[in-house]
């Protein structure tokens, strides 16, 4: 309901945006001292954005960088990142939003540059107009008012696009493009201390001395049609669990899947609903060899800790929303209807137009197993080569 409120308000604002003049950029007299980044949703998008915030902090070391978002981004997960000064949360209840917006418009006037990283929200473009300079993407739906803009490429990985927008801002201020330092987020765990129970669990998993596969069979509930059939994941476990460890991942939105993985096998650990996201990040860094799973937020948690993934993509494209870790792979089916997820056009379906999700149904268990074992063997060979 909250998301529907935000989208309804956004639709009302679209006409107002079309009438606004371009916020022309004046030659800068000094580097920006206050920078506001806008990304309203969701958690996966936040993981794409925040390495860019680190890069901007390196390019403008005297600037304070704030982030404007909603609760859908899970902002508490990122609250201790050293390059973020403050996080502003947009309320998504209609009454609270209408009360809060005038205050926000006034507050945005203090920012030297407001950078809008959303592809289709009109609200974010309207807010960015309040800054002294605005920056964002040009799509068929938005981008008319930005001082600094780049075309939105629907074929280019989202992380790469975000960095290109940051580079446009650096170019405007005449500073050298700061190194990207990769697309990872190791700082997420800088202040995290694993509990004794988590360390005990890690030791228990590693004592088997087998490759560890984190298996993610879920996705957010409003994107459940991105899920590969549960029976295929069960078949993968059944056929390979004697030579691999499977750690079944999931949070509150995957609790309905937990009973399916109550398997009586010592190599299967069903952890759905038992760990928070920081604990999952720690497991990815210190325990997991590979993430196997659907297009969803947990893939970005794994990516943030440099864990390679074998990602199953249906409605969206792996090259657009998947990992850019060279050790990662995507499995997907080419169909004329793909991708049906086109965020930049405001097309974000929650169900397949057919009675079945053909793009996922066509993916075979044997193909997944072959790729999974090939990736694990390659990683094992690399480990042998670098071991003293």
Q: Which residue has the tokens 């650990």?
A: 269
What's the CATH code, domain 2-183? 3.40.50.2000
3-class state of residue 331 by DSSP: strand
For residue 11, the model assigns a pLDDT of 65
C-alpha distances in Å from residue 166, one per residue of 162, 179, 180: 6, 11, 10
Round to whole Å and give the CA distance between 312 and 155. Answer: 18
3-class state of residue 289 by DSSP: coil
For residue 319, the model assigns a pLDDT of 95
Q: Which residue has the tokens 């650096």?
A: 170
For residue 245, the model assigns a pLDDT of 98
| Pairing mode, strands 212-216 and 148-151 | unpaired
Q: For residue 322, give the nearest of 345, 349, 341 by alpha carbon.
A: 341
For residue 294, the model assigns a pLDDT of 96
* 212-228 residue pLDDT tens: 999 999 988 777 889 99
User: DSSP strand E in the chain: where?
Assistant: 34-38, 64-69, 86-89, 113-116, 134-138, 148-151, 212-216, 245-249, 268-270, 290-294, 309-312, 329-331
Round to whole Å and give the CA distance between 294 and 368. Answer: 12
Q: Using an 8 Å Cβ cutoff, are 373 and 365 in contact?
A: no
For residue 1, the model assigns a pLDDT of 43
Round to whole Å and give the CA distance between 228 and 360. Answer: 6
The helices-and-strands tally (H runs, E runs) of the chain is 12, 12
3-class state of residue 252 by DSSP: helix
What's the CATH code, domain 194-386? 3.40.50.2000
Note whether 2-183 and 194-386 share their fold: yes
Question: What residues in the chain have per-residue pLDDT under 70?
Answer: 1-20, 383-388
Q: Hey, where are the domains in the chain?
A: 2-183, 194-386
**Predicted structure pTM score:** 0.91
Sign of CA dihedral 214, 218, 223, 229: positive
Q: For residue 167, give the nearest of 107, 115, 221, 239 by alpha carbon.
A: 115
For residue 10, the model assigns a pLDDT of 64
117 DSSP 8-state letter: -
């Amino acid at each position: 309901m909250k998301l529907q409120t935000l989208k309804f308000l956004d639709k009302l604002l679209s006409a107002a945006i079309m009438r606004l003049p371009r916020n022309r950029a004046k030659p800068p007299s000094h580097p920006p001292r206050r920078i506001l980044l806008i990304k309203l949703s969701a958690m996966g998008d936040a993981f794409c954005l925040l390495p860019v915030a680190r890069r901007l902090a390196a390019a403008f070391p005297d600037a304070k960088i704030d982030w404007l978002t909603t609760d859908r981004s899970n902002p508490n997960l990122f609250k201790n990142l050293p390059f973020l000064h403050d996080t502003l949360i947009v309320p998504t209840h209609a009454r609270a939003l209408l009360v809060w917006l005038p205050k926000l418009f006034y507050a945005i006037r203090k920012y030297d540059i407001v950078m809008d990283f959303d592809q289709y929200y009109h609200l974010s473009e309207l807010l960015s107009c309040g800054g002294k300079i605005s920056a964002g993407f040009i799509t068929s739906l938005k981008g008319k008012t930005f001082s600094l803009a780049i075309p939105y490429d629907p074929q280019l990985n989202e992380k790469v696009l975000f960095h290109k927008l940051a580079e446009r801002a650096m170019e405007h201020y005449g500073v050298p493009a700061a190194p990207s330092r990769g697309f990872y987020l190791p700082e997420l765990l800088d202040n995290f201390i694993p509990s004794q129970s988590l360390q005990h669990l890690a030791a228990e998993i590693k004592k088997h001395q087998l490759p560890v596969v984190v298996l993610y069979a879920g996705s957010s509930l409003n994107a459940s049609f991105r899920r590969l059939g549960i029976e295929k994941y069960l078949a993968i476990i059944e056929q390979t669990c004697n030579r691999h460890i499977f750690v079944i991942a999931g949070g509150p939105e995957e609790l309905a899947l937990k009973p399916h993985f109550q398997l009586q096998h010592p190599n299967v650990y069903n952890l759905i609903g038992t760990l928070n996201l920081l604990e999952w990040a720690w497991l990815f860094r210190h325990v997991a060899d590979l993430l196997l799973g659907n297009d969803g937020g947990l893939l970005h948690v794994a990516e943030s800790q440099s864990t390679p993934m074998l990602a199953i993509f249906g409605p969206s494209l792996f090259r657009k929303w998947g990992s850019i870790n060279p050790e990662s792979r995507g499995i997907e089916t080419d169909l004329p209807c793909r991708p049906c997820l086109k965020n930049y056009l405001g097309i974000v379906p929650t169900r397949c137009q057919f009675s079945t999700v053909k793009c996922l149904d066509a993916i075979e268990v044997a193909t997944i197993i072959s790729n999974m074992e090939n990736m694990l063997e390659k990683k094992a060979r690399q480990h042998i080569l670098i071991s003293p």
